[in-house]
Amino acid sequence: MSDVTPPPPAQPAPTPYASAPTGAKTNTLAIVSLVLAFFISLGAVICGHIALSQIKKTGENGRGLAIAGLVLGYLGLVAGLIGTILWISFFAIAAGSGSFSY
């Protein structure tokens, strides 16, 4: 007999990890609209309306993000408008009362 050792048992082939199923893509402008709502309200409103139009045509995800961007964008525009009116009113009242000294 020979002194040959038998080969080790074959290892099972590693099973690759299954990738997560990819759903519908989220509309990029919907995300941009929500982010812009915290910085530039008018940009959020514009991007939000464009995103809703694209979502309706393509069936992408992100409708809620676009609506949130629109709501926050419009609230920002209203707050900015009210703030501007109050700012102008303050200076108009202050100028009328003669509280400024030259």
CB-CB neighbours of 77 under 10 Å: 14
For residue 5, pLDDT beyond 90: no
Place 101 in a pLDDT band, splitting at 50, 70 and 90. Answer: low
d(CA 73, CA 29): 14
pLDDT in tens, 11-66: 877 777 877 667 789 999 999 999 999 999 999 999 999 999 999 999 999 999 99
Average pLDDT over residues 63-81: 98
pLDDT at residue 63 in the model = 97
Q: Where are the domains of the chain?
A: 28-95
Burial class of residue 54 (count of CB atoms within 10 Å of its CB; 0-12, 13-18, 19+): middle
pLDDT at residue 53 in the model = 98
For residue 89, pLDDT beyond 60: yes
> In terms of pLDDT, which residue wins out, 97 or 38?
38
Average pLDDT over residues 1-17: 77
pLDDT at residue 20 in the model = 66
